Structure 1
Amino acid sequence: MKALLHGVRVLDLTRMLAGPYCTLLLADMGAEVIKIERPGKGDEIRRMGPPFVKGVSAYFISVNRNKLSLTLDLKSPKGKEIFLKLVEKADVVIDNFRPGVMSGLGFDYETLKSINPKIVACSISGYGQTGPYRDRPAYDLVLQAMGGVVALTGEPGSRPVRCGVPIGDLAGAMQAAFSIVSALFARERTGEGACLDISLLDSLVFLAPYIAQYYFADGKVMGPSGSKHRSVTPYQIFESADGYLVVAVFGEGFWPRFCQAIGRPELADDPRFKTNLDRVKHREILDPLLEDLIKTRPTKEWLAALERHQIPSCEVKTIDKVLTDPQLLSRGMIGEMDHPVCGTVKTLANPVKIEGIVSDIRHAPLLGEHTNELLSRILNLTPSEIVRLREGKVV
């Protein structure tokens, strides 16, 4: 069985993280992603580090596997001509330039559509193509602050902190990938392409549906609550005698079993704690009681007891433990790629498992590694024509 996006050709003008993560998702599902980069320079994250693996950026490796690299000067007349010829034979064009840059290059949607009416054009930007902030620069930390994530993260009374993963970039990347695939599906029915406008800020705020709805409902401004949940308890990180563990009693059925697991069965029938509403109402009593109790025994002992009673729980793992976890290893989440410079490199694999399809992992491309092959295969350029393009610094 062929990969789900086999035969879909994507012209990828993105760089840094949000755009490349989007096209990584498409590439992992089988799309032919052609990463178009500036001759001699390429994507800025090729130089992002440390760490580097034999001079190659680990950051770049992480989000650019399964792609092909073509160098092309999009500001030169010949480079523009070549790009538009590629558009004729493509399904998707994606960029993460600031609003107005694609139009300035001569690649606005109406131009692309006139060349290929079925093209799906997707633009990812910090704030979208419209609105008072559209021309502002944006990076993940700025988006997290503007999107309310920073104000919600951390312990009560502490300084604001950012989320540990770049969720501002990744949220928009996932929305973009979903929107592109949706547009391709619609095109199968209508024969028409689409113009997609993805705002990283919009996408990040959309990850807080119930938090926004709480505010609409009661007007209360939520602040940082550490690991606790405003509407559920116990649902938090506890300190044990030798570390930390998570307990998630989300649902009434877990509460009696949790009380059995911690050796306090009488708490299940205490009228102050009988239902979740009761527990939330009296959390100033319950939370300290549980926190003091959990501190008396080591993490492994608590987890063994909690697992016997089927209570959702886990130790707080560092990345080294995560990447050697038997569950992830059994699911094939740690893959390997053979890199021409770095040798064999471990990397995260595609989390989507599809019966009958074995996900391939090809190395993140060297700058311009596939330029000759792509110009020859797609545009039928001869070796001498490609040499002249190189001499003119077009590629």
Structure 2
Amino acid sequence: FDATAEWLGHPMYMKMYADRQIPRVGLGHAAIVPYDAYPTLDGNILIGVQNDRGWRQLVTEVFARPELADHPRYATNMLRVQHREEVDALVAEETKKFTRAALDQALADAGIPAAELNDMSGLIDHPQLKERDRWRQVGSEVGQISAVLPPMTFADVEMRMGDIPALGEHTDHVLGELGCSAADIAAMRKAGVVG
């Protein structure tokens, strides 16, 4: 979870600080159907039927539609992949009858891999980030902001979370470390090479 939160840092911070939700590019699987995000009464849920047994469990135990288990167009994964649009539409019609929490529980009870699907607000508000004490305050040009702790967790040391430097804040220091004199840096500034 921590690694995923870190991996989603860019879109998460875009949502937090620019109120911009970066659009998704898809969750489907090229060789498994159904395997995608499906609508519920109050959000979306990711379902990943892994094999034909999983399909049978989905349509009989969760959807109470046993006639679909051996349907000639859906009985095998190969057939379901060939009829992806039909299967996805059929699954979506069934999932829309559930709340996300109820469907998540029904899928878990049936042993079908699934996960609640959150947008960036769902990640920001996810209870695991708070419960696992992943948020830190860091300084920035606009004051203190919240940032997620890097995912590497050790019992005896916490990963460094320094302030976000202002644009150009360390330019003189870095150029000095590279051997530039104060006169060189001033000349570069005058010429517009550095700001």
Match of 2:34 among 225, 234, 254: 234
Identity of aligned residues (%): 23
Q: Which residue of 2 aligns with 1:164?
A: 23
Whole-Å separation in 2 of the counterparts to 1:363 and 1:261: 52
Match of 1:295 among 90, 96, 104: 96
Structure 1 counterpart of 2:145, one-letter code: V
Equivalent pair of 1:271/1:278 in contact (CA under 8 Å): no
Structure 1 residue 292 displacement after superposition: 2.3
CA RMSD in angstroms, aligned pairs only: 3.8
Whole-Å separation in 1 of the counterparts to 2:53 and 2:88: 19
Whole-Å separation in 2 of the counterparts to 1:263 and 1:335: 43
The 1:279–1:390 alpha-carbon spacing in structure 2 relative to 1, beyond 3 Å, is closer
Structure 1 residue 368 displacement after superposition: 3.1
Q: Are residues 1:317 and 2:176 paired?
A: no
Structure 2 counterpart of 1:338, one-letter code: G
Structure 2 counterpart of 1:164, one-letter code: P
Structure 1 residue 294 displacement after superposition: 1.9
Q: Are residues 1:280 and 2:55 paired?
A: no
The 1:338–1:314 alpha-carbon spacing in structure 2 relative to 1, beyond 3 Å, is same
Matches within 5 A, 1:182-197: none
Whole-Å separation in 2 of the counterparts to 1:371 and 1:283: 55
Q: Deviations over 1:76-108 (max 9, x none)?
A: xxxxxxxxxxxxxxxxxxxxxxxxxxxxxxxxx
Match of 1:363 among 127, 139, 163: 163
Whole-Å separation in 1 of the counterparts to 2:120 and 2:85: 33
Structure 1 residue 252 displacement after superposition: 4.1
SS at match of 1:343: coil
The 1:248–1:335 alpha-carbon spacing in structure 2 relative to 1, beyond 3 Å, is farther
Matches within 5 A, 1:21-32: none
Whole-Å separation in 2 of the counterparts to 1:327 and 1:311: 23
Equivalent pair of 2:108/2:114 in contact (CA under 8 Å): yes
Q: Which residue of 1 aligns with 2:46?
A: 246
List gaps (5 residues or longer) in structure 2. 1-6, 8-13
SS at match of 2:32: coil
Structure 1 residue 364 displacement after superposition: 2.1
Whole-Å separation in 2 of the counterparts to 1:373 and 1:280: 58
Whole-Å separation in 2 of the counterparts to 1:234 and 1:360: 42
Equivalent pair of 1:249/1:312 in contact (CA under 8 Å): yes
Matches within 5 A, 1:123-162: none
Whole-Å separation in 1 of the counterparts to 2:67 and 2:131: 38
Equivalent pair of 1:237/1:245 in contact (CA under 8 Å): yes
Q: Deviations over 1:283-302 (max 9, x none)?
A: 56544433322222322221
Whole-Å separation in 1 of the counterparts to 2:168 and 2:88: 58
Q: Are residues 1:262 and 2:62 paired?
A: yes
SS at match of 2:55: helix
Whole-Å separation in 2 of the counterparts to 1:305 and 1:247: 12
List gaps (5 residues or longer) in structure 1. 1-24, 26-50, 52-57, 60-162, 168-225
The 1:357–1:251 alpha-carbon spacing in structure 2 relative to 1, beyond 3 Å, is farther
